Amino acid sequence: MKHIFNEVHYELTRKIAEGGMGLVYEATQKGIGGFRKVVAIKLIREEYSAIEEFRNNFIGEAKLVADLIHTNIVQTYHLGKIGEQYFMTMEYVTGWNLEEFLDRHVETEQYIPADLAVFIVSRICRGLGYAHRKKDSQGRLLGIVHRDVNPKNIMIAQEGDVKLTDFGIAKALDLMYNKEGDVIAGKDEYLSPEQARCEVTDHRADLFCCGIVMSELLLGYNLFEAYESEDTIRNILEMKVPNFKEIRPDIDPRLDKILQTSLMRARDERYQSSEEMLTELESFIYGEGYGPTNEKLAAYIYDVFGDDGENAALRWHRGETRFADN
């Protein structure tokens, strides 16, 4: 594979991730005069490239995200084909995905500081708001719904940037290969109730998922996840959402209210737009003055990953960030 990509000025460096249908590599893009740029290459496996449904889904994702240019969304540069294998060239993020960030805190038995957890989700709301409002060249609202907002699809750069990626199962105007009502699209423990019921979704489904991610950042575990898939889905549909302050005492009642609103099963009772949720989140972290920034998050990330992260959260809010005994 490496020599094939060299012909189109890409040199694969290492495998970053691997899924059922595709792989992601770190690569170097080469140009004249010694030009070099580190990029990510996402490619669909050869066996799936030959299947029209998967091929169309991959091409559809590339077309959809090509014009999504926003600081909180991983940018796509190019869609190409080598032989019968399709690939995308994407922005390379030097950092970690949110699942790795969470795992690091679980390993060291530390809570993520609440203000940084809120900041991370607020940046995702910014990216989602941009995608939800996106129109095509004719001025038609694309109606983009990501449908797969989960920690693996959220990147945190060393510099503190937070970026949403993987629009592979997103729905949009004239693009929806995973027909709603036929299959459940998304990862079980990060489904909105409407996804779990195989209903037609709108942008508010992504906001419920933001609520799940934020609660996981604050608690260190997914609220709804169970051993069996059907139990996880039942929890999403029926489980009583807890008072988060009772689980983690340093959670502010205002933050508990934001979580409760984002996790309302009835979408009319949920936040009605990413902007509305973003306003609530930013009012919480900035309402009393200076709050989290990219630089502040970057400094914290350095503590977490740069020195084995043993006491990073303790230095942040001494005595308030250890896991509570449940």
**Strands across the sheet containing 162-164:** 95-97, 154-157, 162-164
225 token code pair: 């996840």
Asked whether residue 209 is domain-assigned, the answer is yes
CATH code, 309: 1.10.510.10
pLDDT, tens only, 36-69: 999 999 988 888 888 888 888 888 888 888 889 9
**Strands across the sheet containing 76-82:** 10-18, 22-30, 36-44, 85-91, 76-82
Asked whether residue 241 is domain-assigned, the answer is yes
196 token code pair: 């779990």
23-35: average pLDDT: 89
Does the pLDDT value for residue 100 go beyond 90?
yes
Q: Which residues contact 243 (CB under 8 A, 6 or more apart)?
A: 256
Q: Number of structural domains, the chain? A: 2
Residues 187, 52: one domain? Answer: no
Question: Do residues 103 and 86 make contact, with C-beta atoms less than 8 angstroms apart?
Answer: no
- Count other Cβ atoms within 10 Å, centred on residue 50: 12
Asked whether residue 324 is domain-assigned, the answer is no
Does the pLDDT value for residue 149 go beyond 50?
yes
Residues above pLDDT 70, as percent of the chain: 88
Sole residue written with tokens 């308030």: 320
Residues 140, 272: one domain? Answer: yes
288-303: average pLDDT: 89
Alpha-carbon radius of gyration of the chain: 20
Residues 140, 282: one domain? Answer: yes
Residues 86, 229: one domain? Answer: no
pLDDT, tens only, 160-192: 999 999 887 788 876 655 566 666 677 899 999
User: Which of left, alpha, beta for 296 (phi over 0: left; psi -120 to 50: alpha)?
Assistant: alpha
**What residues are annotated to the active site?**
148
Looking at 70, 91, 112, the residue that finishes a domain is 91
Domain membership of residue 154 as a residue range: 95-316
Residues 179, 48: one domain? Answer: no
CATH code, 49: 3.30.200.20
Sole residue written with tokens 């010694």: 34
Sole residue written with tokens 């797969």: 148
pLDDT, tens only, 189-204: 999 999 999 898 999 9
Q: Which residues contact 143 (CB under 8 A, 6 or more apart)?
A: 171, 172, 173, 202, 203
Question: Do residues 252 and 287 make contact, with C-beta atoms less than 8 angstroms apart?
Answer: no
